[in-house]
Amino acid sequence: MVDLRGRDLLKLLDYTPEEIRYVLDLAKDLKYKKHNRIPHRYLEGRNIVLLFEKTSTRTRCSFEVAGLDLGMGVTFLDPGSSQMGKKESIADTARVLSRMYDGIEYRGFSQEIVEELARYSDKPVWNGLTDQFHPTQMFADLLTIEEHLGRLQGVNFTYMGDARNNMGNSLMVACAKMGLNFTACAPKELFPEAWLVEEAKKIAAESGGSVRLTEDVYEGTKDADVIYTDIWVSMGEPAEVWETRINLLKKYQVNKAAMANAKKDAIFMHCLPSFHDEKTTIGADIAKRFGIPEMEVTNEVFESEQSVVFDEAENRMHTIKAIVCATMIDEPIDLG
Ligand code: CP
Ligand code: NVA
Protein backbone atom coordinates (compact mmCIF):
# COMPACT_ATOMS: atom_id res chain seq x y z
CA MET A 1 0.00 0.00 0.00
CA VAL A 2 1.16 3.55 -0.73
CA ASP A 3 2.51 5.24 2.40
CA LEU A 4 3.14 9.01 2.19
CA ARG A 5 3.53 9.67 5.93
CA GLY A 6 6.13 12.32 6.67
CA ARG A 7 6.65 13.20 2.99
CA ASP A 8 6.88 16.74 1.61
CA LEU A 9 5.11 17.88 -1.55
CA LEU A 10 7.59 20.22 -3.24
CA LYS A 11 7.01 19.29 -6.90
CA LEU A 12 5.19 16.50 -8.71
CA LEU A 13 8.48 15.23 -10.18
CA ASP A 14 9.15 13.76 -6.69
CA TYR A 15 5.98 11.59 -6.73
CA THR A 16 5.44 8.29 -8.54
CA PRO A 17 2.28 7.68 -10.62
CA GLU A 18 1.13 5.20 -7.91
CA GLU A 19 1.51 7.88 -5.22
CA ILE A 20 -0.40 10.41 -7.34
CA ARG A 21 -3.12 7.78 -7.94
CA TYR A 22 -3.38 7.20 -4.18
CA VAL A 23 -3.83 10.94 -3.44
CA LEU A 24 -6.52 11.20 -6.14
CA ASP A 25 -8.41 8.19 -4.74
CA LEU A 26 -8.14 9.53 -1.20
CA ALA A 27 -9.45 12.90 -2.44
CA LYS A 28 -12.49 11.15 -3.98
CA ASP A 29 -13.17 9.43 -0.66
CA LEU A 30 -12.82 12.68 1.30
CA LYS A 31 -14.99 14.55 -1.22
CA TYR A 32 -17.73 11.94 -0.78
CA LYS A 33 -17.47 12.28 3.02
CA LYS A 34 -17.63 16.08 2.84
CA HIS A 35 -20.67 16.08 0.54
CA ASN A 36 -22.45 13.57 2.75
CA ARG A 37 -21.48 15.23 6.04
CA ILE A 38 -19.56 12.18 7.22
CA PRO A 39 -17.04 13.38 9.83
CA HIS A 40 -13.37 12.86 8.96
CA ARG A 41 -11.47 14.51 11.80
CA TYR A 42 -8.45 12.24 11.30
CA LEU A 43 -5.91 14.80 12.55
CA GLU A 44 -7.69 16.01 15.69
CA GLY A 45 -5.48 18.12 17.96
CA ARG A 46 -2.70 18.74 15.42
CA ASN A 47 -1.76 22.16 13.98
CA ILE A 48 -0.56 23.48 10.62
CA VAL A 49 0.80 26.86 9.54
CA LEU A 50 0.33 28.53 6.17
CA LEU A 51 3.09 30.89 4.98
CA PHE A 52 2.10 33.18 2.12
CA GLU A 53 4.57 35.58 0.50
CA LYS A 54 2.16 36.02 -2.45
CA THR A 55 -1.61 36.56 -2.39
CA SER A 56 -4.15 33.71 -2.68
CA THR A 57 -7.84 32.87 -2.49
CA ARG A 58 -8.16 29.18 -3.46
CA THR A 59 -4.96 27.76 -1.98
CA ARG A 60 -5.27 29.57 1.34
CA CYS A 61 -8.97 28.76 1.77
CA SER A 62 -8.42 25.14 0.72
CA PHE A 63 -5.72 24.61 3.34
CA GLU A 64 -7.82 26.39 5.99
CA VAL A 65 -11.04 24.44 5.32
CA ALA A 66 -9.15 21.15 4.84
CA GLY A 67 -7.29 21.65 8.12
CA LEU A 68 -10.47 22.49 10.03
CA ASP A 69 -12.41 19.56 8.50
CA LEU A 70 -9.57 17.24 9.58
CA GLY A 71 -9.88 18.56 13.16
CA MET A 72 -6.75 20.71 13.19
CA GLY A 73 -5.81 24.22 14.24
CA VAL A 74 -4.69 26.41 11.33
CA THR A 75 -2.55 29.60 11.44
CA PHE A 76 -2.17 31.93 8.43
CA LEU A 77 0.94 34.11 8.22
CA ASP A 78 1.93 36.68 5.61
CA PRO A 79 4.89 39.08 5.56
CA GLY A 80 2.63 41.95 6.62
CA SER A 81 1.66 40.33 9.93
CA SER A 82 4.81 38.40 10.91
CA GLN A 83 8.60 38.83 11.07
CA MET A 84 8.95 36.62 7.96
CA GLY A 85 11.08 38.16 5.22
CA LYS A 86 11.81 41.58 6.70
CA LYS A 87 13.33 40.64 10.07
CA GLU A 88 13.66 36.86 9.87
CA SER A 89 14.79 34.62 7.03
CA ILE A 90 12.52 31.90 5.70
CA ALA A 91 14.95 29.27 6.99
CA ASP A 92 14.84 30.67 10.55
CA THR A 93 11.07 31.08 10.35
CA ALA A 94 10.73 27.44 9.29
CA ARG A 95 12.97 26.18 12.09
CA VAL A 96 10.89 28.05 14.65
CA LEU A 97 7.56 26.99 13.19
CA SER A 98 8.44 23.33 12.81
CA ARG A 99 8.90 23.25 16.63
CA MET A 100 5.30 24.42 17.05
CA TYR A 101 3.40 22.99 14.10
CA ASP A 102 2.92 19.54 12.55
CA GLY A 103 2.97 20.72 8.92
CA ILE A 104 3.97 23.82 6.92
CA GLU A 105 2.51 25.21 3.69
CA TYR A 106 4.58 27.75 1.75
CA ARG A 107 3.65 30.01 -1.19
CA GLY A 108 6.30 32.33 -2.53
CA PHE A 109 8.95 33.02 -5.07
CA SER A 110 11.83 30.69 -5.96
CA GLN A 111 11.53 26.92 -5.77
CA GLU A 112 14.84 26.89 -3.84
CA ILE A 113 13.09 28.55 -0.87
CA VAL A 114 10.52 25.79 -0.45
CA GLU A 115 13.21 23.13 -0.97
CA GLU A 116 15.35 24.82 1.71
CA LEU A 117 12.41 25.07 4.03
CA ALA A 118 11.83 21.34 3.70
CA ARG A 119 15.49 20.64 4.49
CA TYR A 120 15.20 22.61 7.74
CA SER A 121 11.79 21.26 8.79
CA ASP A 122 11.26 17.77 10.18
CA LYS A 123 7.52 18.13 9.52
CA PRO A 124 5.86 17.82 6.07
CA VAL A 125 6.22 20.92 3.86
CA TRP A 126 3.71 21.54 1.05
CA ASN A 127 4.45 23.87 -1.87
CA GLY A 128 1.43 26.13 -2.33
CA LEU A 129 3.00 27.69 -5.50
CA THR A 130 6.44 28.96 -6.41
CA ASP A 131 7.60 30.70 -9.59
CA GLN A 132 8.48 27.27 -11.01
CA PHE A 133 5.86 24.80 -9.79
CA HIS A 134 2.29 24.58 -8.42
CA PRO A 135 1.96 20.92 -7.34
CA THR A 136 -1.20 21.09 -5.19
CA GLN A 137 -3.07 22.51 -8.20
CA MET A 138 -2.11 19.37 -10.19
CA PHE A 139 -4.10 16.99 -8.01
CA ALA A 140 -7.21 19.17 -8.42
CA ASP A 141 -6.72 19.33 -12.18
CA LEU A 142 -6.20 15.58 -12.61
CA LEU A 143 -9.23 14.82 -10.42
CA THR A 144 -11.40 17.25 -12.42
CA ILE A 145 -10.33 15.70 -15.74
CA GLU A 146 -11.05 12.22 -14.46
CA GLU A 147 -14.48 13.26 -13.13
CA HIS A 148 -15.48 14.86 -16.43
CA LEU A 149 -13.85 12.55 -18.98
CA GLY A 150 -13.82 9.31 -17.00
CA ARG A 151 -10.11 8.69 -17.57
CA LEU A 152 -6.61 10.19 -17.58
CA GLN A 153 -4.69 7.75 -19.77
CA GLY A 154 -4.64 8.87 -23.41
CA VAL A 155 -6.42 12.20 -22.83
CA ASN A 156 -5.29 14.89 -25.31
CA PHE A 157 -4.38 17.86 -23.13
CA THR A 158 -3.50 21.25 -24.62
CA TYR A 159 -2.04 24.08 -22.57
CA MET A 160 -2.21 27.46 -24.32
CA GLY A 161 -0.28 30.56 -23.26
CA ASP A 162 2.72 31.10 -21.00
CA ALA A 163 4.03 27.54 -21.05
CA ARG A 164 7.17 28.20 -18.98
CA ASN A 165 5.44 29.47 -15.86
CA ASN A 166 4.57 27.41 -12.76
CA MET A 167 1.37 26.11 -14.40
CA GLY A 168 2.88 25.17 -17.78
CA ASN A 169 5.78 23.36 -16.06
CA SER A 170 3.59 21.54 -13.58
CA LEU A 171 0.93 20.47 -16.07
CA MET A 172 3.55 19.06 -18.43
CA VAL A 173 4.95 16.92 -15.60
CA ALA A 174 1.49 15.90 -14.29
CA CYS A 175 0.35 14.82 -17.76
CA ALA A 176 3.60 12.92 -18.37
CA LYS A 177 3.29 11.06 -15.06
CA MET A 178 -0.32 10.00 -15.63
CA GLY A 179 -0.21 9.01 -19.32
CA LEU A 180 -1.91 12.04 -20.93
CA ASN A 181 -0.80 13.46 -24.29
CA PHE A 182 0.49 16.94 -23.37
CA THR A 183 0.77 19.76 -25.90
CA ALA A 184 2.20 23.16 -25.05
CA CYS A 185 0.73 25.55 -27.61
CA ALA A 186 2.77 28.73 -27.17
CA PRO A 187 5.30 31.03 -28.81
CA LYS A 188 8.76 29.45 -28.63
CA GLU A 189 9.99 32.24 -26.33
CA LEU A 190 7.57 30.86 -23.74
CA PHE A 191 8.24 27.13 -24.14
CA PRO A 192 9.21 25.30 -20.92
CA GLU A 193 12.95 24.95 -20.23
CA ALA A 194 14.67 22.25 -22.31
CA TRP A 195 15.83 20.13 -19.34
CA LEU A 196 12.27 19.90 -18.01
CA VAL A 197 10.87 18.99 -21.44
CA GLU A 198 13.47 16.21 -21.72
CA GLU A 199 12.63 14.96 -18.24
CA ALA A 200 8.88 15.01 -19.01
CA LYS A 201 9.44 13.13 -22.28
CA LYS A 202 11.33 10.39 -20.42
CA ILE A 203 8.53 10.11 -17.85
CA ALA A 204 5.86 10.05 -20.60
CA ALA A 205 7.70 7.23 -22.40
CA GLU A 206 7.10 5.09 -19.29
CA SER A 207 3.49 6.08 -18.67
CA GLY A 208 2.33 5.75 -22.29
CA GLY A 209 1.73 9.50 -22.57
CA SER A 210 3.51 12.03 -24.79
CA VAL A 211 4.88 15.58 -24.74
CA ARG A 212 4.99 17.98 -27.66
CA LEU A 213 5.54 21.71 -28.11
CA THR A 214 4.03 23.70 -30.97
CA GLU A 215 3.65 27.33 -31.99
CA ASP A 216 0.78 26.44 -34.32
CA VAL A 217 -2.65 27.12 -32.81
CA TYR A 218 -4.57 24.95 -35.28
CA GLU A 219 -2.27 21.95 -34.82
CA GLY A 220 -2.08 22.49 -31.05
CA THR A 221 -5.82 22.57 -30.42
CA LYS A 222 -6.87 19.94 -33.00
CA ASP A 223 -8.77 17.08 -31.33
CA ALA A 224 -7.94 18.22 -27.80
CA ASP A 225 -10.01 16.72 -24.96
CA VAL A 226 -8.91 19.47 -22.57
CA ILE A 227 -7.92 23.05 -23.33
CA TYR A 228 -6.22 24.76 -20.41
CA THR A 229 -4.87 28.28 -19.95
CA ASP A 230 -3.49 30.57 -17.26
CA ILE A 231 -2.96 34.31 -16.87
CA TRP A 232 -0.35 35.84 -19.16
CA VAL A 233 1.63 37.63 -16.44
CA SER A 234 2.17 35.75 -13.19
CA MET A 235 2.50 36.98 -9.62
CA GLY A 236 5.94 38.39 -8.97
CA GLU A 237 6.55 39.49 -12.59
CA PRO A 238 7.01 43.24 -13.18
CA ALA A 239 4.08 45.21 -14.63
CA GLU A 240 6.32 46.31 -17.55
CA VAL A 241 6.10 42.86 -19.15
CA TRP A 242 2.37 43.19 -19.94
CA GLU A 243 2.84 44.80 -23.34
CA THR A 244 5.38 42.26 -24.67
CA ARG A 245 3.41 39.38 -23.17
CA ILE A 246 0.12 40.52 -24.75
CA ASN A 247 1.82 40.80 -28.13
CA LEU A 248 3.34 37.35 -27.78
CA LEU A 249 0.22 35.64 -26.50
CA LYS A 250 -2.82 37.29 -28.08
CA LYS A 251 -3.06 34.65 -30.79
CA TYR A 252 -3.01 31.95 -28.09
CA GLN A 253 -6.22 33.22 -26.46
CA VAL A 254 -8.72 30.43 -25.77
CA ASN A 255 -11.74 31.52 -27.81
CA LYS A 256 -14.62 29.95 -29.70
CA ALA A 257 -12.40 29.02 -32.66
CA ALA A 258 -9.90 27.19 -30.43
CA MET A 259 -12.70 25.26 -28.70
CA ALA A 260 -14.36 24.45 -32.04
CA ASN A 261 -11.10 22.90 -33.28
CA ALA A 262 -10.97 20.65 -30.20
CA LYS A 263 -13.17 17.56 -29.75
CA LYS A 264 -16.92 18.20 -29.57
CA ASP A 265 -17.13 17.36 -25.86
CA ALA A 266 -13.82 18.99 -24.89
CA ILE A 267 -13.62 20.77 -21.56
CA PHE A 268 -12.08 24.16 -20.75
CA MET A 269 -9.93 24.50 -17.62
CA HIS A 270 -8.11 27.33 -15.81
CA CYS A 271 -6.42 27.38 -12.39
CA LEU A 272 -7.93 30.85 -11.74
CA PRO A 273 -7.91 33.76 -11.13
CA SER A 274 -8.70 34.68 -14.74
CA PHE A 275 -8.89 37.86 -16.80
CA HIS A 276 -11.95 37.02 -18.92
CA ASP A 277 -13.70 40.39 -18.56
CA GLU A 278 -13.16 43.91 -17.25
CA LYS A 279 -14.55 43.25 -13.77
CA THR A 280 -11.16 43.39 -12.02
CA THR A 281 -8.88 46.38 -11.54
CA ILE A 282 -6.10 44.80 -13.62
CA GLY A 283 -8.56 43.59 -16.29
CA ALA A 284 -10.07 47.09 -16.57
CA ASP A 285 -6.63 48.74 -16.68
CA ILE A 286 -5.37 46.40 -19.44
CA ALA A 287 -8.59 46.92 -21.41
CA LYS A 288 -8.06 50.68 -21.23
CA ARG A 289 -4.34 50.62 -22.06
CA PHE A 290 -4.28 47.96 -24.78
CA GLY A 291 -7.89 47.83 -26.00
CA ILE A 292 -8.41 44.14 -25.12
CA PRO A 293 -11.45 43.48 -22.90
CA GLU A 294 -10.60 39.77 -22.46
CA MET A 295 -7.18 38.18 -22.20
CA GLU A 296 -6.19 34.50 -21.95
CA VAL A 297 -9.81 33.32 -22.40
CA THR A 298 -12.90 34.98 -23.81
CA ASN A 299 -15.84 35.51 -21.50
CA GLU A 300 -17.90 33.38 -23.89
CA VAL A 301 -15.70 30.30 -23.36
CA PHE A 302 -15.24 30.97 -19.64
CA GLU A 303 -19.02 31.04 -19.10
CA SER A 304 -19.81 28.21 -21.54
CA GLU A 305 -21.12 24.71 -20.77
CA GLN A 306 -17.67 23.37 -21.62
CA SER A 307 -16.01 25.34 -18.83
CA VAL A 308 -15.37 23.29 -15.66
CA VAL A 309 -13.37 25.96 -13.82
CA PHE A 310 -15.52 26.04 -10.68
CA ASP A 311 -15.52 22.23 -10.30
CA GLU A 312 -11.76 22.52 -10.61
CA ALA A 313 -11.65 25.25 -7.92
CA GLU A 314 -13.76 23.14 -5.54
CA ASN A 315 -11.42 20.20 -6.10
CA ARG A 316 -8.51 22.27 -4.77
CA MET A 317 -9.96 21.79 -1.29
CA HIS A 318 -10.63 18.04 -1.53
CA THR A 319 -7.22 17.30 -3.04
CA ILE A 320 -5.30 19.54 -0.63
CA LYS A 321 -7.13 17.75 2.19
CA ALA A 322 -5.98 14.43 0.72
CA ILE A 323 -2.32 15.43 0.50
CA VAL A 324 -2.32 16.91 4.02
CA CYS A 325 -4.05 13.81 5.37
CA ALA A 326 -1.80 11.33 3.55
CA THR A 327 1.40 13.03 4.71
CA MET A 328 0.34 13.67 8.33
CA ILE A 329 -1.81 10.73 9.37
CA ASP A 330 -0.54 8.17 11.97
CA GLU A 331 -1.84 5.07 10.17
CA PRO A 332 -2.21 5.19 6.35
CA ILE A 333 -5.80 4.90 5.11
CA ASP A 334 -6.30 1.68 3.14
CA LEU A 335 -8.52 2.52 0.17
CA GLY A 336 -8.84 -1.15 -0.78
N1 CP B 1 -5.28 28.58 -8.42
C2 CP B 1 -4.76 29.17 -7.34
O3 CP B 1 -3.69 28.80 -6.83
O4 CP B 1 -5.49 30.20 -6.86
P5 CP B 1 -5.06 31.20 -5.69
O6 CP B 1 -3.93 32.04 -6.21
O7 CP B 1 -6.29 32.00 -5.39
O8 CP B 1 -4.61 30.40 -4.51
N1 NVA C 1 0.75 31.47 -13.01
C2 NVA C 1 -0.10 32.05 -11.99
C3 NVA C 1 -0.84 30.99 -11.26
C4 NVA C 1 -1.82 31.47 -10.23
C5 NVA C 1 -2.53 30.38 -9.52
C6 NVA C 1 0.74 32.89 -11.05
O7 NVA C 1 1.80 32.43 -10.62
O8 NVA C 1 0.34 34.02 -10.76
Q: For the segment 12-65, what is each residue's pLDDT rounded down to a tens digit?
A: 999 999 999 999 999 999 999 999 999 999 999 999 999 999 999 999 999 999
Question: If you measure from the C-alpha of residue 58 to the centroid of ligand 1, how many angstroms do you get, rounded to a whole number?
Answer: 5
Q: Please give the pLDDT value at position 91.
A: 82
Buried b vs exposed e over 18-54: b needs ≥16 C-beta within 10 Å?
Answer: ebbbbbbbbbbbbbeebeeeeebebbeebebbbbbbb
- Tell me, what's the pLDDT at 236? 96
Assess whether the C-beta atom of 57 lies below 6 angstroms from ligand 1. yes
- Distance from C-alpha of 129 to C-alpha of 10, rounded to nearest angstrom: 9
- Of 29, 60, 230, 325, catalytic: 230
How much is the average pLDDT of 94-104? 94
Asked if 40 and 294 touch (Cβ cutoff 8 Å), the reply is no
Nearest residue CA, atom 7 of ligand 1? 57
Q: What is the pLDDT of residue 27?
A: 98
Active site residue 316: yes
Distance of alpha carbon 185 from alpha carbon 223, whole angstroms: 13
> Alpha-carbon distance 266 to 225, whole Å?
4
How far away, in angstroms, is 234 Cα from ligand 2 center? 5
Helix or strand holding residue 52 (H, E): strand 47-52
The whole-number pLDDT of residue 212 equals 98
158 φ, ψ to 5°? -115, 125
Name residues whose C-beta falls within 8 Å of residue 176's C-beta, 6 or more positions apart in sequence.
Answer: 182, 200, 201, 203, 204, 207, 209, 211
Which residue in 29, 69, 141, 271 is the catalytic one? 271
pLDDT at 84 over 90: no
Mean pLDDT for all residues in the chain: 96
> For ligand 1, is residue 271 a contact (CB within 6 Å)?
yes
Q: How many other β-carbons are positioned within 10 Å of the β-carbon of residue 229? A: 29
Beta carbons of 139 and 20 less than 8 angstroms apart = yes
Rg of the Cα atoms in the chain: 19
Q: Under a CB-based contact definition with an 8 Å cutoff, are residues 140 and 174 in contact?
A: no
Residue 328, classed as helix, strand or coil, is helix
Confidence at residue 333, expressed as pLDDT on a 0 to 100 scale:
87
List, for residues 242-300, the tens digit of each pLDDT value.
Answer: 999 999 999 999 999 999 999 999 999 999 999 999 999 999 999 999 999 999 999 99
Q: So what's the architecture of 156-224+226-261+267-305 in CATH?
A: 3-Layer(aba) Sandwich (3.40)
Q: What is the pLDDT of residue 325?
A: 98
- Ligand 1 nearest-atom number relative to CA 55: 6
| Mean pLDDT confidence for 68-80 | 96
Pocket of ligand 2, candidates 109, 129, 162, 229: which has the most ligand atoms within 8 Å of its Cβ, to mutate?
Answer: 129
Exposure b/e, 259-296, CB count within 10 A at least 16 = b: bebbbeebbbbbbbbbbbbbeeeebeebbeeeeebbbb
Over the stretch 186-237, which tens digit does the pLDDT of each residue have?
999 999 999 999 999 999 999 999 999 999 999 999 999 999 999 999 999 9
DSSP single-letter state for residue 7: -
Q: What is the pLDDT of residue 190?
A: 98
Q: What is the pLDDT of residues 117-176, one digit of tens each?
A: 999 899 999 999 999 999 999 999 999 999 999 999 999 999 999 999 999 999 999 999
Q: Is 276 a catalytic residue?
A: no
Per-residue pLDDT at 194? 98
Which residue among 235, 275, 295, 296 is best mutated to probe the pocket of ligand 2, counting the most ligand atoms within 8 A of its Cβ?
235
Nearest CA to ligand 1 atom 4: 58
Binding-site residues, ligand 2, Cβ < 6 A: 129, 165-167, 230-231, 234-235, 271
Q: Is 41 a catalytic residue?
A: no
Q: Is 20 helix (H, G, I), strand (E, B) or coil?
A: helix
Q: Determine the distance separating the centroid of ligand 2 and the alpha carbon of 3, expressed in angstroms.
A: 30
Ligand 2, residue 166: give the atom nearest the CA. 1
pLDDT of residue 85: 85
Closest C-alpha residue for ligand 1 atom 1: 271
CB 314 within 8 A of CB 270: no
Burial bucket for residue 202 (CB in 10 Å: 0-12, 13-18, 19+): exposed
158 strand-pairing partners: 183, 227
Catalytic annotation on 46? no
Residues of the chain with CATH 3.40.50.1370: 12-133+314-328, 156-224+226-261+267-305
Q: Whose CA is nearest to atom 1 of ligand 2?
A: 234
Of ligand 1's atoms, which has the minimum distance to the CA of residue 271? 1
CA 60 / ligand 1 centre spacing (Å): 8
What percent of the chain shows pLDDT beyond 90?
A: 94
Question: Class of the 12-133+314-328 domain?
Answer: alpha beta
Which listed ligand is nearest to 133 at the C-alpha? 2
Tell me which residue of 126, 164, 154, 158 sits closest to 15, measured CA to CA: 126
